[in-house]
Amino acid sequence: MTGTRTGRRGSTTAWADIDLHALGRNLERLRRGLPSGQAVFGVVKADAYGHGAGPVGRALQRFGIDGLVVADMGEGITLRRAGVTAPILVIDPPLQSQLRLPALHRLGATVTSAAEARALATAANRAGRTVDVHVRVDTGFAGLGAPRAGLADLLAAVAAAPVLRLEGLYTHLSGAYGPYEDGGLVELERFGEAVDAARAAGLLPPLVHALSSPALDRPLLTGAAARIGCTAVRCGAALFGIRMVDGDSPLPLAPVMSVKARVTRVTALEPGDIADYAAAGAAPRRTPVAVLPFGFSDGHHLHRLAGGVLLIRGRPAPVLGRPFMSSLLADVTDIPDVQPGDEAVLIGRQGDHRITAEDIAARSGLRPSAVPLLGPRIVRRYRSNSAGREQPE
């Protein structure tokens, strides 16, 4: 899988440590905060938010996740080929050329119209297999989902096809990602109307889900979801210990990823020397510099890392100038005796200091969940416990 490789210490100079034990603890803590019997679907789109979809998917399966969620058919097939047997829901409805894939790879399909349902049923008939179907409802977010007005007809079209199993009804709340405690409540109320319509028609599926990671911290949303009859949640960022909105969280979630690199060279800039291509970082004085093999091709947040720091020998080292495509310079004026081979931390803890995905997001203007989307040079090392034992993959 591109960007999801393992490697032995010393075989690379930049890597991400993935703590699978922390992943399992986060899932357990999320479950404890939910009403009894709620199903948890882990969102592992975008290569599990950069953590590695195959290893993460297998680990979540071992930890008892109820199902996984991906963006498209290709991501679902990748998980199946990685050995994941848990239910997988694909968010994007299949294209005409992809209609046979849900049946062939046992993927749950999203449909948003009766025409999509009928086309999927035809393909499933030809494949001779039953397909699980989730109906997505448009509650005002980017026009995604089925219009609420025709929902009963769509549910009936799914239920009328013997090869389609009506498994879920869901929506996604944009307002939950905003700064307001009641953000998403209007969308959730609209979804409640759709749930009531499905229930009145006798077509309410077992899985009803609307809440994603940021909503789980908001009692107004969790309470409203319980009242309308939601039976499942989708967790992506929260599983990886990433906070998508500002503020304190009642959930004690731990970051799963830390990112590190080895100092490859120690040098110095003389007064007036240029630190980057744009000539925007001229050294005002003689400046000791550590060179690290991590650039904007390895972490796109480095495009906008003004004022950023990393950690070397347990102390903050300011990023000097604008990072290059495959390297960056760090000012080590206040860190004595830095040597090639020293470990630098770009995300994570070293000594008494810590850099989080949320810190980087706030400085760079990115969403926190985008920070771990690393480039393919960065090796992922999977650890089965927080003491550091590597787990072969």
Residue-by-residue DSSP string for 15-65: EEEEEHHHHHHHHHHHHHTS-TT-EEEEE-HHHHHTT-HHHHHHHHHHTT-
Q: Which residues pair with 234 in a beta bridge?
A: 41
Residue with tokens 């013997």: 162
* CA–CA gap between residue 61 and residue 64 (Å, rounded): 5
**Residues whose CB is less than 8 angstroms from the CB of residue 112 and which lie 6 or more positions away in sequence, other chains included:** 93, 135, 136, 138, 144, 145, 146, 154
Among the listed residues 45, 170, 260, 382, the single catalytic one is 45
Q: Given 49, 180, 260, 277, which residue is catalytic?
A: 277
Q: 235 φ, ψ to 5°?
A: -120, 125
Please indicate whether residue 170 is annotated as part of the active site.
Answer: no
Alpha-carbon distance of 244 to 237, in angstroms, equals 7
Q: How far apart are CA 387 and CA 375, in angstroms?
A: 26
CA distance 131 to 106: 7
Which one, of 29, 90, 18, 94, lies nearest residue 58 by Cα?
Answer: 18
45 belongs to the catalytic site: yes
Residues 6 or more apart whose CB falls under 8 angstroms from that of 325 comprise 295, 296, 297
For 112, the token pair is: 């948003």
Q: Would you state the structure tokens that stand for residue 244, as one six-digit string?
A: 């998508």
Tokens of 263: 């100092």
Q: Please report which helix (H) or strand (E) contains residue 381, including its range.
A: strand 379-383
Active site (catalytic) residues: 45, 277
